[in-house]
Amino acid sequence: MLDVNKIRADFPILQEEAYPGIPLVYLDSAASSQKPLPVIEVMNQYYRRINANVHRGIHRLSEEATNAYEGARERITRFINAADSAEVIYVRNATEAFNLVAYSWGRANLRPGDEILITAMEHHANIVPWQIMAEQTGAVLRHLPFLPNGTLDLDPLPQLLTEKTKLFSFTAVSNVFGTVNPVRQLVDAAHQVGALAMVDAAQAVPHMPVDVQAWNCDFLAFSGHKMCGPTGIGILYGKRHILEAMPPFMGGGDMIRRVTLEGSTWADLPHKFEAGTPSIAEGIGLGTAVDYLTNLGMANVHAYEQYITNYALEALSEIDGLHILGPSAAQRGGVAAFTILGLHPHDIAELLDKDGIAIRAGHHCAMPLHHLCGVNSSARASFYIHTTTEEVDQLVTSLNRAKKIFRL
């Protein structure tokens, strides 16, 4: 079991007060995680000691910056067990990763009548790019439904995955239900009909061991800011032979081998997809976030989150009128989205904020999911390595107080 008090000491913001005399209770890690001191310090040191552009300089600062930036890529490669760092592309976030695949792979490979399959529980980042691509290419976008308990309905999968399917793109862990999906089973099903498989791992990589080779996925996307890293940096993983066949996503400096007025040739992977000056400090910060989580042990992280999530679900279920979206604790990650009869989620979040508790309210970039659940929005508490049972107890107390305020 993780030493949560020791971990909390690593996060400066957790020592802050939300308001004078009111401690901060941060339960919004699914939106963006807080940053431990090593990540903050390594980025500070980059700007203080080795700030320079990478790859193109011969001077010491540029070489040190390049070594730190590319060293981070190597550690990220090991963290997800990719076969080669050339398969690990720096992007701004998971959203950009989906758009990169949609515009680069999609435009080159999708034809009228081809099909793309997603699920009905996806984040908008794994819906909208495929809608755009379907409209532009004449492909058809289909979706796999979910059951009332928030797990995928796998019965229609054989009818939805056909020889027309070119890509099956799905989330490993729902950002609303928290559902942990059977990734390898879904990847295998896609491959059986000759389709590629892309995994949204934004809610998986921060919380559990992820092995892209064991999953055998063709693409995988995640964001740094949800896993103790900075904003503005994320990763697209892709199998090397697929990435090599794809055209560049953007053009400019650093992604070229040679440029003439008549034409250009492209740099080798991964740089072919990394045009322009990159987010250097952010890449270095993400590498340090990976180090931090590696030192904790991802199996330990996952075990603790299962413990705290189970504790939270049991406590929340005692509140009259509160309905939790999604499956049991055994099938979910550290997310609890809920509604309370008679209370709007925004009112819930505002009242909790007065008690120093930070949660999320809204559709969580998953409007189709909420529509299918018959609600416009939900409140969402999400848990991470620093969440304590005392904080969960505070959440329950504040929710009961909110009900009393509204005389429910």
118-155 residue pLDDT tens: 999 999 999 999 999 999 999 999 999 999 999 999 99
In angstroms, what is the C-alpha Rg of the chain? 22
pLDDT value at position 408?
Answer: 67
pLDDT value at position 172?
Answer: 98
Query: What is the spatial distance between Cα 307 and Cα 357, in angstroms, rounded to a whole number?
Result: 20
Contact by Cβ (8 Å): 82, 107: no
Sequence ranges of the domains in the chain: 4-27+298-403, 40-295
pLDDT value at position 1?
Answer: 80
Return the CATH fold of 4-27+298-403: Aspartate Aminotransferase, domain 1 (3.90.1150)
Contact by Cβ (8 Å): 50, 232: no
Contact by Cβ (8 Å): 73, 85: yes
What is the CATH architecture assignment of 40-295?
3-Layer(aba) Sandwich (3.40)
Contact by Cβ (8 Å): 70, 62: no
Give CA separation, 180 vs 18, 183, 222, 293, 295, in Å.
32, 8, 15, 20, 24
Question: What letter would DSSP give residue 103?
Answer: I
Q: Where are the beta strands (DSSP E) in 48-151?
A: 88-91, 115-119, 140-144
Question: Which residues in the chain come in under a pLDDT of 50?
Answer: none
Query: What is the spatial distance between Cα 365 and Cα 148, in angstroms, rounded to a whole number?
Result: 20
Residues with Cβ within 8 Å of 281's Cβ and at least 6 positions away in sequence, in order, are 43, 46, 47, 230
- List the one residue out of 150, 149, 143, 148 whose CA is nearest residue 168: 143
Question: What letter would DSSP give residue 265?
Answer: E
Query: What is the spatial distance between Cα 183 and Cα 171, in angstroms, rounded to a whole number?
Result: 8
Contact by Cβ (8 Å): 193, 161: yes
DSSP three-state, residue 114 = coil
- List the one residue out of 407, 343, 403, 405 whose CA is nearest residue 378: 343
pLDDT value at position 57?
Answer: 87
pLDDT value at position 394?
Answer: 98
| Catalytic positions, written as ranges | 365
Query: What is the spatial distance between Cα 65 and Cα 305, in angstroms, rounded to a whole number?
Result: 35
Per-residue tokens: 183: 């990734």
Number of neighbouring beta carbons within 10 Å of residue 83: 12
pLDDT value at position 359?
Answer: 98
Q: Where are the beta strands (DSSP E) in 120-171?
A: 140-144, 165-171
DSSP three-state, residue 162 = coil
Q: How many CA atoms lie within 13 A of 101 on its CB side?
A: 31
Query: What is the spatial distance between Cα 135 and Cα 26, in angstroms, rounded to a whole number?
Result: 40
